[in-house]
Amino acid sequence: MIRFHKLVLCLLASQLAFGQGGDQLRKAEHYFQNGDYYNAAVQYEQYLGIRKSAPGGFRPYAPARTGKGAKSGVASKGAAYKRLADCYYALHDYAKAAEYYDQATGVDREATLQWIASLRAAGRKTDALKLIATARALNLTPQMQQELALEEAALNSTPTPDPYTTVTKATGDINTGHGNYAAVEWGGVVFFTSSRSDGGSKGPNRNHLYRIVGSDALNADPLAEAGIDQGLCSFTPDGKRMYFTAWKREAGKNVARIYTVTREDGGWTTPVLMDAKINLPGSSNAQPGYVEQNGVRYLLFSSDRAGGHGGYDLWIATVNDNAISEPQNLGAVINTSRDEQAPFYHPASRQLVFASNGRTGLGGFDLYTSTSDLKTFATPVNPGAPVNSVKDDSYFFSTSPDSLMRKAYLSSDRASDCCLEIFTIAKQDPPKPVEPEPAPMPKDTTGIVEREPQYVLPVVYFDFDKDELSAEAKLRLDTVATKMLAEESTQRLRIGGYTDGKGGESYNQRLSDRRARAVRNYLYGKGIPSDRLWIKGFGECCPLEAEEAGGQDVPDARAKNRRVELSWER
């Protein structure tokens, strides 16, 4: 009789456990299908026996990833692990995503790419490369093949950190709790977005705008509306107007819109939703970046509207005197088939900085720079490490009026399991070589024998308005470095930078300086001591060829004048 009662109790317990597990699974599926990945993950973990309680959490800090759809239905625990991994991938917790993909079954093509990205971000390079080899046998779409190629390139990259740039995690209250990102400064005050707990909610924490006052972070939300996330702000130079993003779930997905608010009598007015040109119905529009250039006011932003190149693209509109122009796509030179976000423009250096996960980089979202007058854009350049990392890097903001990277902020999850944190960038100029006076030429040249030069130094050419070294230029400089390292000499190399005649004189002077510095930095990185490298920018002086003939522009001549010349100091 005792055994019978025990059997009945065991059967009842198992039925209760099954019923509870089924309820958790139904809840998990409901949350998952509605894009609530945090609560879905909690329920999947309870169903799988990974966790017993459901603490408060955080919401994703970025727009929903494009092209990441999910099929419904969980038929096994392996399928539940796959769902759980999908949740953590959407929440940017790549270490957990990789862990649960390892235990999953039914991992389809799309999830395989997410698995690879998670392994890369979690630092499991060998496992990621093995999975890439397996993924090649899958019937991948062209878009998936491109994603696979980007992941493989990131895994095989061996970046050399810039020795003059330091990236440091910000200290103090700015990085409290989960998800702190998109720091900007105005008037010496730091504003940033955070999903930290406000102490009053038991559910997932929402994103709010904060400002640092003394050593404390105080809420600075412009909107007093419940159930909405907001942040990602940009100020006009006088601080009288702020543009910001607010987003909430609509029809199962995050929909973002851009608002503006003005400062009057020391306080903010009621926020105003920008018109349908900016907030195009049926699309998400976010991450505004305000710019004033040559008397024109611009608004840069990220949008997934139709007419782009895929995913989220960067767009620009003029916002003069409350008259807004039709936004223009920045074009294929900037936008890719994947996502571009968080635009920032630095007027003094004429550099557009943005984040993209659609270009060959170090992994995930990387920051890129493009020389631009906001009408035309040069090919984007990846600044490399330590600005970028193998994880997500975004939300750049420079606080230096004259130098892009001298003092700046970026947001990265490089030091976190799940969430963006705020980092500071500090860039120093390379040490200037000692410049001794050139030796005087002898008056009596009797007995001087001119030696036939055995090696002709190359000329390094540059694209219009650019100071980046091309692959061909690097090959030429490699031969120079090899020669200098092989010879037992302390002879110095003179590096002179030049531009063509287009553009202002002062701007061209700075451009020629940057070109000369780019060559010097490359040779220094190859092991040439800085005291053997002398640099000077000569601006647009000394053209090798006339840039106009018969009143017509001669592009080939201009191309030859955009150069760095090398010569041995005598």
Angle at 380 between CA 376 and CA 384, to 5 degrees: 155
Helix (H, G, I), strand (E, B) or coil at 217: strand
Q: What would the pLDDT profile of 72-117 be if each residue is shown by its tens digit?
A: 456 689 999 999 999 999 988 999 999 999 999 989 999 999 999 9
- pLDDT at position 366: 97
Residue 23 has a pLDDT of: 84
Supply the angle between the helices 94-101 and 109-121 in degrees, to the nearest 10: 130
Q: How far apart are CA 45 and CA 387, in angstroms?
A: 35
> Which residues on neighbouring strands pair with residue 353, listed in sequence order?
344, 369
pLDDT at residue 351, as a whole number: 95
What pLDDT is attached to residue 218?
85
Residues 303 and 284: their CA atoms lie apart, in Å, by 6
Question: What is residue 11's predicted lDDT score, i.e. its pLDDT?
Answer: 32
Q: Using 50 as the pLDDT threshold, list the residues of the chain that sit under it.
A: 1-19, 58, 60-72, 445, 447-453
Alpha-carbon span 528 to 483, nearest angstrom: 10
What 3-state DSSP class applies to 542? coil
Question: In whole angstroms, what is the distance from residue 461 CA to residue 473 CA?
Answer: 7
- The whole-number pLDDT of residue 279 equals 98
Tokens found for residue 258: 């851009």
Reported for 197-200, long-range contacts at CB under 8 A and 24+ positions apart, including other chains, are: 197/56
Instruction: State how far Cα 53 lies from the chain centre.
Output: 36
The alpha-carbon radius of gyration of the chain (Å, integer) is 28
Nearest to 82 by CA among 118, 109, 106, 65: 106
Q: Write out the two tokens for 37.
A: 């990945």
d(CA 425, CA 160): 17
Q: Which domains does the chain have, with CATH numbers?
A: 24-156 (1.25.40), 165-427 (2.120.10.30), 460-568 (3.30.1330.60)
Round the average pLDDT of the chain to a whole number and report it. Answer: 85
pLDDT of residue 55: 52
d(Cα 92, Cα 88) in Å, to the nearest integer? 6
Q: How far apart are CA 224 and CA 231, in angstroms?
A: 13
373: left (phi over 0), alpha (psi -120 to 50) or beta: alpha
The two tokens of residue 275 are: 């018109």
Quick one: three-class SS letters along 525-548? HCCCCHHHEEEEECCCCCCCCCCE
Name the one residue in this structure whose structure tokens are 């720079």. Answer: 369
Which one-letter DSSP state was computed for residue 260? E
Residue 425's nearest CA partner among 412, 435, 413, 437 is 412
pLDDT given for residue 437 in this prediction: 56
Question: Please, what is the Cα angle at 416 between 413 and 417, to 5 degrees?
Answer: 110
Total Cβ atoms within 10 A of residue 426: 14
Residue 460, strand partner residues: 564
CA-based nearest residue to 300, from 211, 364, 396, 379: 396
Beta bridge partners of 409: 397, 424
